[in-house]
Structure 1
Amino acid sequence: MDRRDKLRLSEIDICDLFITPAIKSAGWDPLTQIRREVTLTPGPVIVRGNLSSRNKKKKKFADYVLSWKLSLPIAIVEAKDNNFSVSHGLQQALGYADILQLPSAFSSNGDGFASHNKTAAAGEDIETEFPLDHFPPPHELWSRYKTFHNIADQEVALVEQPYHVDSDGKEPRYYQVEAINRTVEAIAKGQKRILLVMATGTGKTYTTFQIIWRLWKARKAKRILFLADRNILVDQTLVNDFKPFGAVMTKVKNRKVDPAYEVHLALYQALTGQEESDKIFKSVSRDFFDLIVVDECHRGSAAEDSAWREILDYFNGAVQIGMTATPKETEYVSNITYFGDPVYTYTLKQGIEDGFLAPYKVIRIDIDRDVEGWTPPPGMVDDLGNQVEEREYNQRDMDRILVLNQRTKLVAERVMKLLRATDPMSKTIIFCEDIDHAERMRKAIVNAAGDLARNNSKYVMRITGDSTEGKAELDRFIDPEEPYPVIATTSQLLTTGVDAKTCKLIVLDRTINSMTMFKQIIGRGTRIDEDNNKFFFTIMDFKKATELFRDPAFDGEPVVIYEPGNDDDPVPPDPEPEDEDAPGGDGSDDEPGVTKIRISGVDAQIIAEQIQYVGPDGQLITESYREFARKQIISEYRSLDQFIQKWRVSDRKKAIIDELEEHGIVLSNLADEVGKDIGDFDLLCHIAYDQPPLTRRERAEKVKKRNYFAKYGDKARAVLEGLLDKYADEGITTIEETKVLRLTPFADIGTPTEIINGAFGGKAKYEQALNELEDQIYGQASNE
């Protein structure tokens, strides 16, 4: 092919004509080993105000992922068109190889390949270039992968075992593939204790299924036990992620471990208890299970006296995998000490940055009685006529010791004010101090909701461990297809294990000191549900609980600080409250022996509110959508002159608008702040460069005053005047579309073809006239 012709080819043409044939010629199977245009991450969701959009500029998109087997990606190839050098895309390819933990990265412009080999021996070049017909064959890159991950020959059979592919084509996301592969590789090497740390909402159970599937298919694990501590976790797993196991799977019930099944799902409460006769796990031999997976292993399972730990110790010859979103690391309990360092970690921050998890905005609300404290006047009595102790009551006392009914009413009214301003049918969880508080909040929400609660008695429900009626509504609350209940008041029951993926509002009216609990509560909102238009969630904080976002432990690497056998260990603190639905519990975490003081006549007021968003570094920032947009525009166009020049020379202004949308800037969002009648150009100039904006109508009137249309014939002038009016009414993107000529008033002049050919003398001249009209609209912009 002639060099000049090759320079005109698109990137896709270069792939089709040069790169793909070269890879196939090296022995790569196009059906099983070559994947084209693989989206690794969709790009983060940006939220400002009540609106959101994706930053597609940060989308990670690999041109080629090369695999040894279906479950084993081993190399990345990045393509560029022929106007770039051979190695131009290598840094990009390396970025993708790094997140996939691959040793081989390549780039090509169609002339040859550039290569980066992380396993290059001492004295060998790490980066090289070679002709198209010298691309490495699959076995060579597989050999690199084995070296990079230290996979011995006897480990290959297990490592090669493919994962399960659903009939609908669902496959694991990149980080799930990494978690699966790192776990399987560790087991292949003989590791018996394995910890996986994955943020809530990232699909821990699906990842677990794929690990078990590969081990089971390879017959490395013949009998498997999946342990959880909540019925809903087991039941969801049974009918959803683990469904492909079919007839070989059972839920342990009737106090019996049935050896006829291979995959057993169980509540640890069903396997053990206080009495020796309750320990039904001992009804089978110690070597009965060869794989045990502990779901949510942060909840005490690593403690020496934990019931889970008793089960794990009994089956100590089995491979044991701990899954958690929140590694538990205190002076007294450490699941890392038991399981070892995580083989893979995927954090909330990473999930939000990649775009797999929903970002959040935080509304922090200060109430005067909380912040300033409240001291009863001398001789004051409560609602029962009892003397109230004369001392200062602060935020920690509210609803634990002191109940101010006006404060509860104030919180409920503020929650409903937000819902009415956004969507009163948004699924909402309100976390309260205890069950008594949750019931009082339910009543207050009913009163604040008015007709919403009157029209459906299940608009708000208390879902706590002691409420049969509330727990019966839990499945409907988390079902995206069920509109009711809309609001759930709770204490701890919904902190974890509940897949409420459509939850858009989390209200914190609870004092939270436990980082583990805080992470679990935040995790209730982190799932994105595009089908139901859920891309972000809001946290409304009345108790300063979101101060924990600033703690380095919130999304940092866990650190082991517990060492068994240390005689200097301090006395442990009071344990965290039991889960509401823990066996034998009444679901209450009220402090024993505390009688609450209930007072109706004391007023409460909101004295401050602050709205914050997740910033690019994962930290909370106070920033408006307007300020966010300004930063993004300036990052693309550093000066007003540069932006104006780009705007004027662009044949289609929509291309600029689309490019800005990839940064997360939606002009309709900005128009809500500045004005609906402001044109796109003026909107951007005003937001980014502080230019006084003109309305579209004002710009159109300026054009008409210049007598610009006089050089055209009657029909052409009528068309251009009509286009100018359309611009004034609807904006620049409307008149750039040829289909506008099918609308009034153009339909009275002729068909689009008649107008273009008859009035202007052809398409080229029509487009020239349109460009001149746009020049007239914006031509004086730099002088204004």
Structure 2
Amino acid sequence: MNKKQLSERDICTKFITPALEQAGWNIATQVREEFPLTKGRVIVRGKLHTRARHKRADYVLFYKPNIPIAVIEAKDNSHSLGDGMQQALGYAEMLQVPFVFSSNGDGFLFHNKIAQDGAIERELALDEFPDAATLWSMWAAHRGLDSQQNAIVTQDYYSDGSDKTPRYYQLIAINKTIEAIAQGQKRLLLVMATGTGKTFTAFQIIWRLWKSKARKRILFLADRNILVDQTMTNDFKPFGSAMTKIQKRQANKSYEIYLSLYQAVTGTEEEKNIYKQFSPDFFDLIVIDECHRGSAAENSAWREILEYFSSATQIGLTATPKETKSVSNIDYFSDPIYTYSLKQGIDDGFLAPYRVVRIDIDRDLSGWRPDKGMTDKHGNEIEDRVYNQRDFDRSLVLEKRTQLVAGKVSEFLKQTNRFDKTIIFCENIDHAERMRQALNNENADLVAQNSKYVMRITGDNEEGKAELDNFIFPESTYPVIATTSKLMSTGVDAQTCKLIVLDQRIQSMTEFKQIIGRGTRYNEPSKSDRGLSLAESAVIA
């Protein structure tokens, strides 16, 4: 056999995999070949899309199914032993693993990031590859893990037997959080861009701590009812009968996993403060979803809950940490233990790219002043002053402006696809209703076919809220356009949303990123739909 004539895949099959087996690695559970790291950035050309080349490691070695520990990059035998090392180091950096190998079938070049003797790289024969226990003991010793901490850190994540496993950045977030808690850290902040799976990541963290009995009673806090309900029926479903939702004036202490709205456990009247029916040490883990909002403020009712249960380990989850003179996530939770940004998500191909289309309206730019003695449509005299964006759709309504915005949105959809899911963020509920009416008139032909083509989905409207699941469900055509104010700004997993319209003053980068996150989730086409085109998400501001 002439080794020089073998392909890279042959080198893997005939030399590298047998060397791993000989070293005692379990090929079925500890060795993952052609391990996908990224999906490849979505590249849009007009109405067509493709993906950039994705990153894939030849081998990733796992000490346990949830703990990557080493990367191997293979080359064919026409390359030198170390030709794959720089590529492997890049993959190891992404996975944050300490041990890196490259091979051409003759042996291995071993790069040890935690080497104490200065010998970072050395060559190994094929029969000298280290076993899993050796690598893990080196890594555990380097991090100072004792046997009790080691048991927590190595607890398996939840698996339902399907192909769904944590993505590389979720693995890092889960493992870094588990290890920090095992080592005694009490306040942790995880920053992950909208649409990158914060709730799934939180579930895996909670599952592993719960299963290892490191944490026995856990509280998951959110500030939107839809977030709690979606979490219970989706990511947290495996908790089953061990899980309950705290309702107002209900404090059943027989469960282990509790989910609650902040609003359900706080109030100005003492009897509404249901959380005080639990002893301060009842919960040993609290996970705070969207912690950039009320819980960040020192004097908030939400912070009061966290301070009442101060003995519990507390994990803050956010896509956009809030840092101002008066409000700080970092002040309470300390620096993020891990960050996965919107830019990383788009570059890796887990999030859809977006473009901003800015439309400036003359009245928004120059303001509007009524003629002397001018009255509104109800006959009331309009105060004589200059009105600007701060006033529009609040203290002053320019009906033609609403019609103009509705016309521009409809024109945009006609140029792309009139059935692209669209969310229009308005100043308030009244504005959302007027926008619904204007859009109905602009799209009378489609509304005549189905009255749910345009729906107002706001907190006060039961009919609209009842359609929210249909709006975010990829297989449901209607509603197509949703007008809202605040209800859909966070936590709504709208994978097929293509157009976000901001017809309100957004003066917070935190809120802007949260809102555009409704349109950066990527809905992977089914195998039967691979030929369909997909436009990028757009934001009209």
TM-score (norm: length of structure 1): 0.66
Does residue 107 of structure 2 align to residue 112 of structure 1?
yes
Q: Tell me the SS of whatever aligns to 1:163.
A: coil
* Alignment match, 2:529: none
Distance 1:198 1:38 in 2: 22
Distance 2:497 2:356 in 1: 15
The structural deviation recorded for 1:62 is 0.5
Aligned residue for 1:27, secondary structure, equals: coil
Matched residue, 1:32: 29
Of residues 408-417 and 197-206 in structure 1, the stretch that sits farther from structure 2 once superposed is 408-417
Of 94, 103, 108, 2:89 maps to 94
Q: Match for 1:151 among 130, 133, 145?
A: 145
Distance 1:176 1:534, change over 3 A: farther
Does the Cα contact within 8 Å between 2:516 and 2:539 map onto a contact in 1? no
The residue identity in structure 1 corresponding to 2:232 is: L
2:67 corresponds to which letter in structure 1?
L
1:163 aligns with 2:157: yes
1:498 is displaced (CA, Å) by 1.3
User: Which residue is 1:538 aligned to?
Assistant: 537
Q: Which residue of 2 aligns with 1:266?
A: 260
Residues 358 and 535 of structure 1 are in contact (CA less than 8 Å); yes or no, is this contact kept in structure 2?
A: no
CA distance in 1, matches of 2:255, 2:368: 61
1:355 matched to 2:365? The reply is: no
SS at match of 1:301: helix
Alignment of 1:53-202 (within 5 A): 53-56=50-53, 59-122=54-117, 124-202=118-196
Query: Which 5+ residue runs of structure 2 have no aligned equivalent?
Result: 527-531
Please tell me whether residue 15 in structure 1 is matched to residue 12 in structure 2.
yes
Counterpart secondary structure, 2:21? helix
- Corresponding residue number in structure 1 for 2:405: 411
Q: Which residue identity does 1:465 align to in structure 2?
A: G
Aligned: 1:289 with 2:289: no
Change (3 A) 1:500 1:444: same
Counterpart of 1:7, as a letter, is: K
After superposition, give the CA deviation of every residue in 1:36-85 in whole Å (9 maximum; x if it has no partner). Answer: 111011111112433321111xx110110001111111000001111111
State the identity as a percent: 63
2-structure distance, mates of 1:534, 1:285: 55
Q: CA 1:88–1:319 in structure 2 vs 1: closer, same or farther (change >3 Å)? A: same
Q: Distance in 1 between matches of 2:309 and 2:533?
A: 42
Partner of 1:437: 431
Structure 2 partner of 1:47: 44
Instruction: Tell me the residue number matched to 1:457.
Output: 451
**Match of residue 528 from structure 1:** 522
Greater CA drift, 161-170 or 444-453: 161-170
Q: What is the CA distance between 1:384 and its match in structure 2?
A: 3.1
Offset at residue 261 of structure 1 (A): 1.3
CA distance in 2, matches of 1:48, 1:365: 22
* Cα offset, 1:538, TM superposition: 3.1
Distance of aligned partners of 1:506 and 1:413 in 2 relative to their CA distance in 1, 3 Å threshold: same
Match of 1:499 among 493, 514, 522: 493
2-structure distance, mates of 1:465, 1:237: 19
Q: Once the two structures are superposed, what CA deviation does each residue of 1:708-761 show, in whole Å capped at 9, x if it has no partner?
A: xxxxxxxxxxxxxxxxxxxxxxxxxxxxxxxxxxxxxxxxxxxxxxxxxxxxxx
Amino acid at match of 2:159: V
In the alignment, the residues of structure 2 paired with residue 390 and residue 237 of structure 1 have an alpha-carbon distance, to the nearest angstrom, of 51
1:463 touches 1:471 (CA, 8 Å); kept in 2?
A: yes
- The correspondence of residues 372-391 of structure 1 with structure 2, limited to 5 A, is 372-391=366-385
| RMSD over aligned Cα atoms | 1.8
1:147 is displaced (CA, Å) by: 4.3
The 3 A distance-change label for structure 1 pair 377 and 268 is: closer
Partner of 1:204: 198
The answer as to whether partners of 1:102 and 1:145 remain within 8 angstroms in 2 is no
Residue ranges of structure 1 left out of the alignment (5+ in a row): 543-784
- Alpha-carbon distance in structure 2 between the residues aligned to 1:245 and 1:540: 38
C-alpha displacement at 1:490, in angstroms?
0.9
Counterparts of 1:53 and 1:377, CA distance in 2? 54
Matches within 5 A, 1:309-320: 309-320=303-314
Describe the SS at the equivalent of 1:513.
Answer: coil
- Whether the 8 Å contact between 1:429 and 1:506 is mirrored in structure 2 is yes
CA contact (8 A) 2:424 2:503 kept: yes
Aligned to 2:233: 239
Call closer, same or farther: CA 1:534–1:69 in 2, change over 3 Å.
farther
Q: Distance in 2 between matches of 1:282 and 1:254?
A: 12
Q: Deviations over 1:101-134 (max 9, x none)?
A: 1111111111111121111114x22122222121
Q: CA deviation at 1:234?
A: 1.0
How many pairs are equivalent? 536
**Partner SS state of residue 190, structure 1:** coil
Displacement after TM superposition at 1:315 (Å): 1.4
C-alpha deviation, 1:394, in angstroms:
3.4
TM-score, length-scaled by structure 2? 0.95
Q: Distance in 2 between matches of 1:378 and 1:7?
A: 91
Based on CA coordinates, which of the two structures has the bigger radius of gyration?
1
Normalized per residue, the structure richer in helix is 1
Quick check: 1:359–1:535 contact (8 Å CA) kept in 2?
A: no
What is aligned with 1:680? none
Distance apart, 1:218 and its partner CA: 0.5
